[in-house]
Chains A and B, each alone.
Chain A
């Protein structure tokens, strides 16, 4: 199955959370934090400002 690296890392981290936390609330909180972190880390797509710069220079 093809998946992006960001989603793979999240799934892996979620499994780690499931292993380490027993309490459901703690699990939920930890997973939410992982998603927030991942969102900031995910910078795969070319930036809108970079594309603007490229176009303005044509």
Chain B
């Protein structure tokens, strides 16, 4: 049903979906590693998070499993994040960057961090191949299939709400992206782990300018 507000009348009927998630495209750097919307950073004792923009952001929020930081009227950032031991640097604790510019358009990024896991995997994410040790993250359109290859046979655990990965031999896994975040734990016979996080988006902007 088209939203109808008394101030503006009901003359327009835009296509609205309340659950739409945009592709994460906000660019920044973490320890001099460039992140284009979504990326994984190797575990360190501290992380230098930086960006510089042409226009001001009205509000910037950085949220992870432990903290929420807010800045207002910000155009550049140079922030050192020192993770809290046994919490922010253990297992999954991804960092979400959520910004709104002065026009009310949102700009987002998701940064994941390795946390000492050891199992290496070849990740085919949105037609790009990367090799990651321990943990990886993949952003793609909801419904697309992504592939993860291992050099040894692995099993997988995942939350019930996330699509089950498919594999014939246990080496190559095909995963259909769900909307929003999902997480998978691949485990080898020796107990090595690879943590694989996915972010499925519903739509992307054609006029992204930040």
* Interface residues, chain A, with chain B CB atoms under 8 Å away: 1-8, 10-12, 14-16, 19, 31-32, 34-36, 38-39, 42, 44-49, 51-52, 54-56, 58
- B63 on the A face (CB < 8 A): yes
Bin the interface of chain B by size.
35 or more
Q: Which of B91-116 contact A (CB under 8 A)?
A: 91-96, 98, 100, 102-106, 108
Residue of B nearest to A33 (CB): B58
Q: Tell whether, in the assembled complex, residue B95 and residue A7 are in contact, meaning their CB atoms are under 8 Å apart.
A: no
Contact partner of A5 (CB less than 8 A), chosen from B16, B63, B105, is B16
Partner of A55, one of B18, B105, B195, B202: B195
**A48 pairs with B159, CB closer than 8 A:** no
Contact partners of B18 in chain A: CB under 8 A: 5
Chain A: minimal CB distance from B111 (Å): 10
Q: Is B151's beta carbon under 8 Å from chain A? A: no
Bound CA span A54–B157, Å: 11
Cα–Cα distance between A58 and B103 once the two chains are bound (Å): 41
